[in-house]
Amino acid sequence: MSTTEPAVSGGAPPDPNTPSYLSHKQILVVLGGLMAGMFLAALDQSIVGTALPQIVSEFNSLDKLSWVVTAYLLTSTASTPLWGKISDLYGRRPLFIAAIVTFLAGSVLAALAQNIEMLIGFRAVQGLGAGGLMSLAFATIGDVIPPRERGKYMGYFGAVFGLSSVAGPLLGGLLTDGPGWRWIFWINLPIGLVALGIVAAVLKLPHVKRSHKIDYLGAAVVTAAVTTLLLAVSWSGPDNGWGSATTVGLLVAAVVLAVAFVFVELRVSEPIIPMDLFKGRIFSGYAGFAFLLGFAMFGALIFLPLYLQAVKDLSPTRSGLALLPMIVGIFSASIPSGQLMSKTGRYKIYPIISAVLVGGAMVLLSTLSMSTPYWQLAIYMFVMGSGLGLSMQITVTAAQNSVPRQHMGTATSTMTFFRSMGGAIGTAVYGAVLTSRLTDHLGDIVPNTAQNMVGMLAKAANSVQALHALKEPMKGWALQGLVEAMGDVFLVSLPFLAIALVIAIITPEQRLAGRDDAPKDGEEPNLEASAAAAMH
């Protein structure tokens, strides 16, 4: 592998759409660094939740607890399209290194935080780095592996997400119970340094320098739009009520800023998210699909651990291990589907089956009761995992295949952005449904002579520890109400998954390009790419 970027001098400049794919051995080396970076970002989404009770105890700050999660979510989501666009202009390697360094700096500072305000601020720094880690890893994969061959490597990517889903709660529990919650941040250092070393040593991709102008106005407007929306759904709505003046004001501001962002992007020469990308039916279709699947997926990932810990009385560590059937489902679906996609160059059927399986899993999960045996839940989780495994990376590959290579980073980060936004909004919607339906169910469950306890029981359901501290029969009432409310939450996802299914059916398919593919005489050109390429 070349260790220097080729100089561009004299003659016609290289075409930024010309592939520079790596060999299989080179790809495996590069993947080591990329997966370590992806693992950092994915692990941090699940490891912190286990430590939150200890953090609250040390800082005595229950009222600001949600901000530890919200700060990370805000910066990671808002920065995602910026990382992708800037990497298209300056190259993946320096930006990926910058993302790792930013994330590690945030981790060290978070581990040293002396109060909750410092921790919230440093979590925001972590999120800023995480926004680049995930999107730039996928964009780099798009640079070095032909679309037709990406399926062969999907198992590795699925392994990263699966391992982080299990290792997060497991490591979080072990570290919090052992050396203390600060070690959930210190653990990032060795992983991050390995990723940094591999990326700095081997990720030397040719990058064609071209004239550019940074869209500072677009960057500011999209950041403001995402921030106001996430503040509304993650903070003001749950804390102040969805009809409060603050929540409504934030939601209106988010809509106004989103519209303003579109107008800005239509008028600048180097937009952060080129609007012409959405003229392609494949890209726009799978962006919508990613949003809806993220909406549905995060609900399951949040409420299944709650069910296992609150209703089945499992420790955080054991509840993490209990999610293994979902991870097995992801592997068992992503690896064969990736191999078949590489063999045939076709992918359309997999998102369709994915939407059906995830919808079926949601219906099954809605039937959970206090006495549901674990083997039954394991089957439901396996079905859910299989559905996720059939689409998580395939839709990204399809979107990458439909745009010109010079917009690979932008397209990839935009897909990640839509999935993250779906997850953030879905989590807030599910939380609101759970709170509302819990009160309704408790009103039906609690005897008339004890109706004055409904509010107290609903509040206790916000904490696993508070639920388990209740005495019978109050504990039984609260747990029964929680289970029934969870059933309603899972059913809420069905209309969104139905829309995702329709999108998967109507989105056209474009044969995946191979290593040496180019349009031949008489062959239909890449219309999706041609439309997007007309931007410049």
- Mean pLDDT, to the nearest integer, of 86-93? 81
Note the pLDDT tens digit of each residue in 477-487.
888 888 998 89
Where does the pLDDT of residue 1 fall: very low under 50, low under 70, confident under 90, or very high at 90 and above? very low
pTM score = 0.78
Q: How far apart are CA 373 and CA 303, in angstroms?
A: 17
To the nearest whole percent, how much of the chain has pLDDT over 70? 84
pLDDT at position 525, please? 40
Note the pLDDT tens digit of each residue in 452-461.
777 777 777 7
Please determine, for residue 34, whether its predicted confidence score (pLDDT) is greater than 70: yes
pLDDT greater at residue 521 or residue 269: 269
Structure-token pair, residue 217: 């106005």
From residue 16, alpha-carbon distances to 89, 194, 265 in Å are 11, 30, 22
pLDDT greater at residue 386 or residue 211: 386
List of residues 6+ apart from 127 with CB closer than 8 A: 71, 72, 73, 74, 75, 76, 77, 79, 106
Where does the pLDDT of residue 112 fall: very low under 50, low under 70, confident under 90, or very high at 90 and above? very high
Q: Which of 39-53, 235-249, 342-356, 514-528 has the highest mean pLDDT?
A: 342-356
pLDDT at position 423, please? 81
- Mean pLDDT, to the nearest integer, of 35-40? 81
By three-state DSSP, how is residue 315 classified?
coil
Sign, CA torsion 489/79/501/38: negative
By three-state DSSP, how is residue 296 classified?
helix
Q: How far apart are CA 492 and CA 362, in angstroms?
A: 9
The residue count of the chain comes to 536
**Three-state SS sequence of 132-145:** HHHHHHHHHHHHHC
pLDDT greater at residue 25 or residue 419: 419
Identify each DSSP E strand in 423-464 by its residue range: none
pLDDT at position 521, please? 37
Note the pLDDT tens digit of each residue in 169-190.
778 778 877 788 888 899 889 8
Burial 312-342 (b: 16+ CB within 10 A, else e): eebebbebbebbbbbbbbbbebbbebbeebb
- Mean pLDDT, to the nearest integer, of 342-355? 89
Helices (H), 446-493: 454-460, 464-469, 474-492
Q: How far apart are CA 396 and CA 399, in angstroms?
A: 5
Where does the pLDDT of residue 474 fall: very low under 50, low under 70, confident under 90, or very high at 90 and above? confident
Please determine, for residue 3, whether its predicted confidence score (pLDDT) is greater than 70: no
Q: How far apart are CA 196 and CA 184, in angstroms?
A: 19
> Residue 490 in contact with residue 300, Cβ under 8 Å?
yes
Structure-token pair, residue 198: 């591999």
pLDDT at position 399, please? 84
Please determine, for residue 215, whether its predicted confidence score (pLDDT) is greater than 70: yes
Mean pLDDT rounded to a whole number for the chain: 79
> Residue 1 in contact with residue 125, Cβ under 8 Å?
no
Q: Which of 228-232, 298-302, 531-535 has the highest mean pLDDT?
A: 228-232
Q: How far apart are CA 47 and CA 181, in angstroms?
A: 10
Burial 382-408 (b: 16+ CB within 10 A, else e): bbbbbbbbbbbbbbbbbbbbbbbbbbb
Note the pLDDT tens digit of each residue in 303-341.
787 788 888 888 767 777 788 888 888 888 888 888 888
- Say which range, 2-6, 46-50, 70-74, 452-456, has the weakest mean pLDDT: 2-6
pLDDT at position 529, please? 41
Name the DSSP letter for residue 23: P
Identify the H or E element spanning 277. none
> Residue 410 in contact with residue 88, Cβ under 8 Å?
yes
**Three-state SS sequence of 167-235:** HHHHHHHHHHHCCCCCHHHHCHHHHHHHHHHHHHHHCCCCCCCCCCCCCHHHHHHHHHHHHHHHHHHHH
Domains identified in the chain and CATH numbers: 20-207 (1.20.1250.20), 215-269 (no CATH), 276-513+526-536 (1.20.1250.20)
Where does the pLDDT of residue 57 fall: very low under 50, low under 70, confident under 90, or very high at 90 and above? low
To the nearest whole percent, how much of the chain has pLDDT over 90? 18
pLDDT at position 428, please? 75
> Residue 305 in contact with residue 311, Cβ under 8 Å?
no
Q: How far apart are CA 464 and CA 311, in angstroms?
A: 9
- Say which range, 361-365, 472-476, 486-490, has the weakest mean pLDDT: 472-476
- Say which range, 47-51, 252-256, 410-414, 528-532, has the weakest mean pLDDT: 528-532
pLDDT at position 473, please? 85
- Mean pLDDT, to the nearest integer, of 482-497? 90
Note the pLDDT tens digit of each residue in 137-177.
878 887 778 777 777 776 677 667 767 777 777 787 788 77
